[in-house]
Structure 1
């Protein structure tokens, strides 16, 4: 029976751009992009886990906001349930500790990266929400 792993990811938004983190060669799924975060520990809420993981992985403090998406994906090592949350920086910029690279991208650019499979539904939702918001802004008043 495969292991069940519950993880959280931060969709950090700053100046309209979104933080993307590339998994290092020492991590599972090396070279793939993700919303940074990690495992929820026993007795920990998802939001508390995300705040802790961001301190540990990227040496930054975030304010965890509304949920973006929750998806379950089967990998060869087990089933991962990933819950992503919009977040904002509450201090210094992220610094690399575990990841090999970080990038700040516009929501419409997220699809240009090779994402870890569990992150793809959140990427698609963010891009769709951004496109819908842009359409609302460009629509003339009264229509």
Structure 2
């Protein structure tokens, strides 16, 4: 039986309603795929707590977690990922790339043009339309 991994992703919008897209590093699972920044939920942690912690660790910024977008499940060769995405807002700090190799701010309707990690793809259509599941 494959490992079940619960993760969260932050869909951060700037003042122009552009979406933050982050590229995974080489040498890790899903190398160079694009994703919404975030990470694993640790034992005893809520989804919001995990997302706040992960964005602090990965990008050096503090966020406010807003509305849930969608929860999706995708089976990779390394395990089954359950990803929940949330609209989030940067409330302090400046975004830095501690874990990712690149980032882009794209219009909602253009985010589908990147090579996304499969678990993130179901959220793309909802985000592009401004909807939630």
Band of TM-score, shorter chain: over 0.9
Aligned mates of 2:88, 2:130 — CA distance in 1 = 16
Aligned mates of 1:124, 1:93 — CA distance in 2 = 28
Residues 19-72 of structure 1: CA deviation (Å, up to 9, x unaligned): 100001032100100000000000000000000000000111110001011000
Moved over 3 A (4+): none
Aligned mates of 1:87, 1:123 — CA distance in 2 = 15
Q: Which runs of 5+ in 1 are unaligned?
A: 131-143
Match of 1:10 in 2: 10
Secondary structure (helix, strand or coil) at the match of 1:108 reads helix
Residues 82-102 of structure 1: CA deviation (Å, up to 9, x unaligned): 000000110122101010001
> Where do 1:15-54 residues align within 5 Å?
15=15, 16-54=17-55
Q: Which has the higher helix share?
A: 1
Match of 1:116 in 2: 117
Secondary structure (helix, strand or coil) at the match of 2:92 reads coil
Between the two proteins, the alignment pairs up a number of residues equal to 130
> Where do 1:1-143 residues align within 5 Å?
1-15=1-15, 16-129=17-130
Q: Which runs of 5+ in 2 are unaligned?
A: none
